[in-house]
């Protein structure tokens, strides 16, 4: 997709690379998220999607550059990147047993920084945090379960708690790692509409999901990873028909078996072979 057809750039990775011993998990990924854009990142199991988010958010050592709104974050720690405006969700949810849904959001909303010192003078911090928390809960339709603990909720709803927690930090860019896993197809479609509204209201986002229907339906631009490299990117209608993408997905069965034999990590229960 030509850059002049994209929105002004907000997040940009250049030559992003991650290796684990001899495994090259991410290999020279150049990826751009425009201001107010919803960008999809898809690819078969083991393609490097989660590792790309790990690298952008600073949770794994990487080569290459990560630049947010002109600021180079490449050498920064995860919490510094979060403070700069990156928020992520986790594939494995990672919620706390002892906290209610609302408390998860309150913890995320409480980001003390220099800006807050000035902002506190004109708008008390508690009121600001409360409004961010309530907005995050509402956007994921969790207000009704805000006082429950995540373990009391279905898995799909727990994933939405992870998204609400990330939103409560009022990020510039939201990095979503399989937020719709555990939702049925109607819930997934509904989630897509909600996500689109969040982006249209000003928060840019990167969406990883194995539900390619969801990604293709809601994203402005889609990147496809295979073996750690971007094989194509562009508007969903172009990417959907790209023979390289079809090949990457249809060839996935044999590849997964080969990886399974060499990768000691347990596989998750998501499917990498679904297409269209
Ligand atoms: P999935 O769709 O199954 O979540 P993915 O596209 O997110 O897959 P990654 O989890 O990023 O892929 O993995 C990319 C490659 O890096 C795989 O070969 C994986 O086995 C390897 N890998 C990821 N994390 C580690 C790790 N901590 N140690 C060793 N290898 C890893």
pLDDT at 199: 95
If you measure from the C-alpha of residue 29 to the centroid of ligand 1, how many angstroms do you get, rounded to a whole number? 15
Closest residue CA from atom 21 of ligand 1: 25
Query: Model's pTM, two decimal places?
Result: 0.84
Separation between Cα atoms, residue 108 and residue 29, nearest integer Å: 29
From first to last of its 276 residues, the chain has per-residue pLDDT tens of: 566 677 889 999 999 999 999 999 999 999 999 999 999 999 999 999 999 999 999 999 999 999 999 999 999 999 999 999 999 998 886 889 899 999 999 998 876 555 555 555 555 555 556 789 999 999 999 999 999 999 999 888 998 999 999 999 999 999 999 998 888 888 899 899 999 999 999 999 999 999 999 999 999 999 999 999 999 999 999 999 899 998 888 665 445 544 544 554 444 444 444 555
Q: Whose CA is nearest to atom 26 of ligand 1?
A: 20
Contacts of 118 (CB under 8 A, 6+ apart): none
Q: Give the model's pLDDT for residue 266.
A: 44
CB-based pocket (< 6 A), ligand 1:
20, 23, 25, 43, 45-51, 263, 265, 268, 272
In this structure, the residue with its CA closest to atom 2 of ligand 1 is 45
DSSP-assigned states of every residue in 43-83: -STTSSHHHHHHHHHTSS--EEEEEETTEE-TT--HHHHHH
Residue nearest to atom 19 of ligand 1 (CA): 46
The predicted-structure confidence for 108-157, as pLDDT tens digits, reads as follows 887 655 555 555 555 555 555 678 999 999 999 999 999 999 999 988 89
CA distances from 50 to 11, 18, 43, 81, 110 (A): 17, 11, 11, 17, 26
175 CA → ligand 1 middle, Å: 17
Q: How many angstroms is it from 123 CA to the middle of ligand 1?
A: 43
Predicted local distance difference test score (pLDDT) of residue 181: 87
pLDDT of res. 121: 57
Sign, Cα dihedral of 5, 173, 97, 106 = negative
Model pLDDT, residue 110: 75
Tokens of 268: 């998750």
User: What pLDDT score does 87 carry?
Assistant: 95
For ligand 1, atom 25: residue with the closest CA:
20
Q: Which of 44, 47, 206 to mutate to test the pocket of ligand 1 (most atoms within 8 A of CB)?
A: 47
Ligand 1 center–CA 245 separation, angstroms: 19
């Amino acid at each position: 997709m030509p850059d002049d057809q994209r929105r002004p750039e907000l997040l940009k990775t250049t030559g992003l690379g991650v290796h684990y011993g001899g495994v090259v998990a991410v290999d020279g990924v150049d990826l751009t998220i425009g201001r107010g854009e919803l960008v999809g990142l898809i690819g078969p199991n083991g393609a490097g999607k989660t590792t790309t988010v790990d690298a952008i958010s600073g949770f794994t050592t990487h080569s290459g550059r990560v630049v947010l709104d002109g600021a180079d974050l490449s050498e920064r720690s995860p919490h510094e990147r979060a403070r700069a405006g990156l928020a992520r969700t986790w594939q494995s949810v990672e919620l706390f047993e002892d906290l209610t849904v609302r408390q998860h959001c309150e913890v995320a909303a409480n980001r003390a920084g220099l800006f807050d010192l000035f902002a506190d003078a004109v708008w008390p911090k508690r009121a600001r945090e409360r409004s961010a928390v309530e907005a995050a809960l509402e956007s994921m339709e969790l207000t009704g379960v805000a006082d429950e603990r995540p373990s009391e909720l279905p898995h799909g709803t727990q994933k939405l708690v992870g998204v609400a927690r990330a939103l409560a930090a009022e990020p510039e860019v939201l990095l979503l790692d399989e937020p719709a896993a555990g939702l049925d197809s109607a819930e997934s479609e509904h989630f897509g509409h909600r996500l689109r509204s969040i982006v249209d209201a000003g928060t840019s986002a990167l969406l990883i999901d194995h539900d390619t229907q969801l990604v293709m339906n809601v994203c402005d631009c889609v990147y496809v990873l295979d073996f750690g490299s971007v094989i194509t990117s562009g508007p969903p209608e172009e990417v959907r028909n790209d023979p390289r993408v079809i090949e990457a997905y249809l060839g996935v069965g044999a590849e997964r078996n080969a990886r399974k034999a060499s990768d000691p990590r347990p596989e998750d229960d998501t499917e990498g072979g679904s297409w269209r």
